[in-house]
Homo-oligomer: A and B are copies of this chain.
Amino acid sequence: MMTGRAAGDYTAPVEDYLKVIYEIERRGSAAGTNDIAQQLSIAPASVSGMVRRLADQGLLEHERYRGVRLTESGRRVALRTIRRHRVIEAYLTHALGYAWDRVHDEAERLEHAASDELIDRMAAAIGEPATDPHGAPIPTRWGEIDEGPHLGTIAELVPGDRCRVVRVSDDDARRLRYLGEVGLIPGAEVVLVSRAPFGGPLALLVDGVERAIGPTLASHVMIETSG
């Protein structure tokens, strides 16, 4: 019967810790107990205990009161989990007709249960995409990832700027849903028409269609400027 996880695997909580630590490190900041706790929606005190276990397993290094850093081994596990997550997201949208705002939660559970073989078969079945539906790069099966250059967001444009949406934050289904409704999906062409003062709305042309969005939302849409 064997209810275990995929071969050679870590527990789901362990994979989740490593994933969020990887993301925090990627943002530049050192991963502190508090950040980790917040990302995982658990109490900071709980993180201390787990961090110790992860350090014991050689997945990260921990300097008391100073934070945490992934080891090479921890990074590998994190990237494998991220690959699983993103391949699953891509597969669900391309092969099974999922809306892009419904894939995150499903992937969040499946990423801990899928074998490497399944992930590779899924990726092959949809043509080995380079990114997930939100534009996030998919690590290769060898743990390489092309994080690309640091991306700006629509919030940082000045009127007249033209750009292309590369990626959007995927951590809020309602936001994703709305972004989809206004056409702000990876690949969309955007021109900032004007920006109202005092945190007011931004007027955009999204693939030629006029739209107005708030600055917070705009900061979740990552772009590359296109001429």
Residues of A participating in the B interface, judged by any CB pair closer than 8 Å: 1-6, 12-13, 16, 19-20, 39-41, 92, 95-98, 102, 105-106, 108-110, 112-115, 117-118, 121-122, 125
Instruction: Pick the residue among B40, B110, B114, B122 that contacts A1 (CB under 8 A).
Output: B40
Instruction: Pick the residue among B3, B20, B102 that contacts A109 (CB under 8 A).
Output: B3
Expressed in whole angstroms, the Cα–Cα distance for A92 and B91 within the complex equals: 13
Expressed in whole angstroms, the Cα–Cα distance for A6 and B106 within the complex equals: 8
Contacts of A113 in B (CB 8 A): 109-110, 112-113
Asked if B110 contacts A41 (CB within 8 A), the reply is no
Contacts of A2 in B (CB 8 A): 41, 105, 108
A19 closest partner in B (C-beta): B1
Expressed in whole angstroms, the Cα–Cα distance for A151 and B106 within the complex equals: 38
Contacts of A20 in B (CB 8 A): 1
Instruction: Pick the residue among B16, B41, B112, B118 that contacts A106 (CB under 8 A).
Output: B118
CB distance from A46 to the nearest CB of B (A): 13
Asked if B121 contacts A96 (CB within 8 A), the reply is yes
Asked if A118 contacts B105 (CB within 8 A), the reply is no
Contacts of A19 in B (CB 8 A): 1
Asked if A122 contacts B96 (CB within 8 A), the reply is yes
14 pairs, CB–CB < 8 Å, chain A vs chain B: A1-B16, A1-B41, A2-B105, A2-B108, A6-B109, A96-B118, A96-B122, A96-B125, A105-B115, A109-B113, A109-B115, A110-B110, A110-B114, A113-B113
Contacts of A41 in B (CB 8 A): 1-2
Asked if B96 contacts A3 (CB within 8 A), the reply is no
Contacts of A92 in B (CB 8 A): 118
